[in-house]
Amino acid sequence: MHSSRLVPATLSTTLLASACLLGFGRLSAVETPAGIPTIWVLGDSTAHNTGQGRNGQPVEGWGTPLADYFDPIKAVVENVGHAGTSSRTYYNNPQDWPRVLPLIKSGDYLLLVFGINDGGPPTSVRSRGSIPGIGDETVNLPRPDGTVEVAHTYGWYMTAMTTDARAKGAHVCLLTVTTRNMWTNPKVKFRDATPIGPLPPDYDPKEDRIERGTADGKYTEWTKELGPKLHVPVLDLTNLCADKYEKMGREAANAFYSDHNHTYKPGADLVAGTIVSGLKAFPHSPFLALLSAKGEAVPTADAKYVSANSPPAP
């Protein structure tokens, strides 16, 4: 880590102004941290993953190569994603959110994305899902020791982590779920991206469509609904990646994946670069001042993929 390096005063002032304009939170100049900001990556295996894929090559989550897109003199990227977690299990696991929250400082940034593993509702404490939706519903889950876990909705956990981080002066950006490598075509059935059986003569690859969010896109929409409710920026990573994959074609996109969820290293880098392109698209983006040469070279995404959700003027 490079926490001993200091941000020049002009850079700190620029970051503060940009973050406030965008809706990443309101900080006064005296609250700006003396050290460089940390960009925290919170997610599941799509963000943080290790091991080997089905072709023997290493798999990786996008939060690891994301660091290459930022200048280490200006920002530190900390990938604290945890494979297999949902918003609920990440929030509750002592090694995840309860450990990360005390480390967050004023002026930091959080890239928060869950939903892949949130399918529910949970039926026991062993279930990893949350209650679908963003409402206030709860369910009591008895623990073996006789105590009870009160489980909440996906939106409740995302709101709780957002609120906790902002209370410490951090800026939160919600990302919709990463695009899974699951395809459909009116003439063909696929297992993930692989055709089941021979392709028919009338198969048209231009009709291949990739999944756009888990639960028929509900988690993508719920994340978007949280943005204006919480006045936090939202990057529609689901559709930004989906549009990119459909443009390159199913077979080319499939080469980046080990299965329907997990990317090889080149795939992780592709997603990381796509996220950076989206972060650059926010108006007055505070991330622009933090980029490395590699990050600066990434084309800015279309503004249709981002929602600033700035708080109303005082």
Contact 154, 132 (CB under 8 A): yes
Fold for 9-307, please state it: Rossmann fold (3.40.50)
pLDDT tens digits, residue range 107-135? 999 999 999 999 999 999 999 999 999 99
Between residues 79 and 6, the one the model is more confident about: 79
Q: What is the pLDDT of residue 185?
A: 97
Grade residue 3 by pLDDT with cuts at 50, 70 and 90. very low
Q: What is the pLDDT of residue 19?
A: 52
Grade residue 161 by pLDDT with cuts at 50, 70 and 90. very high
pLDDT at 266 over 50: yes
Contact 45, 61 (CB under 8 A): yes
pLDDT tens digits, residue range 181-213? 999 999 999 999 999 999 999 999 999 999 999
Between residues 300 and 54, the one the model is more confident about: 300
Q: What is the pLDDT of residue 4?
A: 29
Grade residue 35 by pLDDT with cuts at 50, 70 and 90. confident
Average pLDDT for 129-149: 97
Angle (CA) 110-111-117 rounded to 5° is 125
Between residues 222 and 12, the one the model is more confident about: 222
Domain assignments of the chain as residue spans, ordered by start = 9-307
pLDDT at 159 over 90: yes
What sections of 124-181 are H helices per DSSP? Answer: 154-167
pLDDT at 38 over 70: yes
Q: Whole-angstrom Cα distance, residue 258 to residue 233?
A: 31
Grade residue 7 by pLDDT with cuts at 50, 70 and 90. very low
Q: In this structure, which amino acid lies at residue 272? A: A
Kindly report the average pLDDT of the chain as a whole number.
91
What sections of 95-185 are H helices per DSSP? Answer: 97-100, 154-167
pLDDT at 54 over 80: yes
Please give the structure tokens belonging to residue 259: 């299965």
pLDDT at 307 over 80: yes
pLDDT at 16 over 80: no
Indicate the pTM of the whole model.
0.89
Contacts 24+ apart (CB under 8 A), 295-299: 295/68, 295/69, 295/70, 295/71, 298/69, 298/273
pLDDT at 218 over 70: yes
pLDDT at 13 over 50: no
Q: What is the pLDDT of residue 314?
A: 76
Grade residue 312 by pLDDT with cuts at 50, 70 and 90. confident
Grade residue 254 by pLDDT with cuts at 50, 70 and 90. very high
